[in-house]
């Protein structure tokens, strides 16, 4: 009687992109990082005064530190904004501007900027359209509850509009120093 050879079927591993599309989290993690070395997505949003500000107005003669943050007046976002405020001179000396974006309204940004003496613009993205373009609007979890929100992320964009550095999942302590180092690398 012939012997049957036992074979085991190998289950092919799913590539990260396939599982990312199914679950969303892997794609979300890599979406912002995927912009590195590519043209920054164009946008136009209202600032705290209601004036429309476009990406093309922010670059050209300056590099840009574009940071996305979850919410005005919250502890981590306040520390981050105040750190950029306190370090604006060395950032400007390196030929860069700072701009913050969150889903808050222009009115909320005006109150936040006034309360903390912020010396750079905050742009309102209440529908999170720009946050999605930049891959920072993601599924988050807090105390076992899942929700969609903005993941604290900073993009360093050069004068020609190319994303030179992405800082995902920013920890606010020491972050401004990381950004200044990245600006020095751009030159």
Q: Report the catalytic residues.
A: 77
> Going by DSSP bridges, is the β-strand pair 96-102/122-124 parallel, antiparallel, or unpaired?
parallel
Closest C-alpha among 98, 124, 127, 99 to residue 111? 124
**11: number of Cβ within 10 Å:** 6
Which structure tokens are listed for 8?
Answer: 């085991």
Taking a C-beta distance cutoff of 8 angstroms, is the pair 49, 80 a contact? no
Give the residues across from 149 on adjacent strands: 138
């Amino acid at each position: 009687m012939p012997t049957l050879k036992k074979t085991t079927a190998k289950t092919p591993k799913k590539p990260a992109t396939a599982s990312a599309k199914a679950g969303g989290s892997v794609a979300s993690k890599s979406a912002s990082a995927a912009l590195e070395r590519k043209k920054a997505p164009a946008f136009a949003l209202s600032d705290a005064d209601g004036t429309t500000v476009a990406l093309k107005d922010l670059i050209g003669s300056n590099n840009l530190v574009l940071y996305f943050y979850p919410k005005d007046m919250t502890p981590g976002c306040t520390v981050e904004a105040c750190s950029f405020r306190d370090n604006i001179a060395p950032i400007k000396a390196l030929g860069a501007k700072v701009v913050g974006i969150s889903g808050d309204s222009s009115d909320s940004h005006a109150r936040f900027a006034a309360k903390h003496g912020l010396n750079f613009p905050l742009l309102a993205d209440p529908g999170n359209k720009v946050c999605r373009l930049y891959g920072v609007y993601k599924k988050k979890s807090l105390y076992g509850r899942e929700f969609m929100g903005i993941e604290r992320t900073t993009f360093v964009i050069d004068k020609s509009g190319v994303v030179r550095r992405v800082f995902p999942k920013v920890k606010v302590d020491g972050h401004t120093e990381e950004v200044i180092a990245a600006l020095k690398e751009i030159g």
